[in-house]
Amino acid sequence: MTQHMELKTFVAPPTMEKPPEIALRNAPETKMAARDLNVFYGDKQALFDVALDIRSRQVTSLIGPSGCGKSTFIRCLNRMNDVIDICRVEGSITLDGADVYDPAIDPVQLRALVGMVFQKPNPFPKSIYENVAYGPRLHGLARDREELDEIVTTSLKKAGLFEEVKDRLDEPGTGLSGGQQQRLCIARAIAVSPEVILMDEPCSALDPIATARIEELIDEIRENFSIVIVTHSMQQAARVSQRTAFFHLGTLVEVGDTADIFTNPRDQRTQDYITGRFG
């Protein structure tokens, strides 16, 4: 136990590791920004002074070994951690410059702007149509049935699922294959036209073919959204993302252009991880 603690303080002195481009604070393309983010689960600290920018119309991938805090970080961005009683968040996260943890901000509004796709496909046990229509209906985005149909169709098209399901929109979403379910979840997230989409290991429960489809899809939709993806697969990070952030033991070790991170990591730990020496 003590050994572990020592190791942690050794590898993660919180102040040392701030990525250099923080100097470009609120650069024009920054969509979301985390500063001095500390997250605690009860007494246990899960994130240490994380500072990270999420840029518009780019895919930012978060990599790192299990338990490094990447999922915790992504769940802070749309305040999904709020539902965990013992979770405490310090520091600031901004969306277009506005603090999302401001008490005046309703998480409902935030989550409409920052959508999320989960690790395990989790369509509602309702029809395909209802799955996609639920969000727009909740937020009153459609004035009438026609408009709702339009939203559902476009969302399914954007998620590359429409051709496969157009004849059975009233069949249960849970009857689709795993990959289709995950694309349905992406369609559901898109349907409320968010600005940021968070994806927490969206392909870890899928086979390689379904994974490839999701990756293609991410590449297609990034023109319209800022995407943050947590992944365990470094190949995936390399394939889909423009920027990569490497987390280790609750600290953000290194962040930069994906090409740089994978070809020329600045930190020893990053290099060890991407070359498979630990993780």
Partner 1 sequence: MTDSTASRPTPSLGGGSRSAALIAKGLARRRAAEKRFRAYGLVAILLALGFLILLLGTIFGNGYSAFSQTHMRLNIEFAQDILDPDGTGDPKILAQGDYQALAKAALRKAFPDVKTRREKRSLYQLVSGDAAYELQRMVLADPSLVGQTRAVWLTASDEIDMLQKGNVATDQPESQRRIKDNELAWVTALDKQGAIERKFNTRFFTGGDSRDPEIAGVWGAVVGSFFTLTVTLVLAFPLGVMAALYLEEFAPKNRWTNLVEVNINNLAAVPSIVFGLLGLAVFLNFLHLPRSAPIVGGIVLALMTLPTVIIAARASLQAVPPSIREAALGIGASKLQTVTDHVLPLAMPGVLTGTIIGMARALGESAPLLMIGMVAFIVDIPKSPFDPATVLPVQVYLWADSPERAFLERTSAAIIVLLAFLIVMNLSAIILRKKFERRW
Characterize the bridge pairing of strands 114-117 and 196-200. parallel
Residues in the chain: 279
Query: Interface with partner 1 includes 118 (CB under 8 A)?
Result: yes
Handedness of CA 270, 271, 272, 273 (dihedral sign): positive
The strand ranges marked E within the chain are: 30-41, 44-55, 59-63, 87-95, 98-99, 114-117, 196-200, 226-230, 243-248, 251-257
Please list the residues that pair with 4 across neighbouring strands: none
In this complex, which beta carbon is closest to partner 1, that of residue 45 or of residue 174?
A: 174
Query: Interface with partner 1 includes 232 (CB under 8 A)?
Result: no
Q: Which of 14, 91, 172, 178 binds partner 1 (CB under 8 A)?
A: 172
Q: Which of 122, 154, 204, 242 binds partner 1 (CB under 8 A)?
A: 122
Shortest distance (Å) from residue 179 CB to partner 1:
17
Footprint of partner 1 on 83-102 (CB under 8 A): 83, 85
Q: Which stretch binds partner 1 (CB under 8 A): 48-56, 63-71, 122-130, 234-242?
A: 122-130
Backbone φ, ψ for residue 38 (5° rounding):
-120, 130
Look at residue 137 and give its three-state secondary structure: helix
Where helices occur in 169-267 by DSSP H, the ranges are 178-191, 208-221, 234-240, 258-263
Query: Interface with partner 1 includes 185 (CB under 8 A)?
Result: yes
Q: Which of 9, 138, 166, 264 binds partner 1 (CB under 8 A)?
A: 138
Query: Interface with partner 1 includes 218 (CB under 8 A)?
Result: no
Binding site for partner 1 (CB under 8 A): 78, 80, 83, 85, 108-112, 115-118, 120, 122-126, 134-135, 138-139, 172, 174, 185, 188-189, 191-192
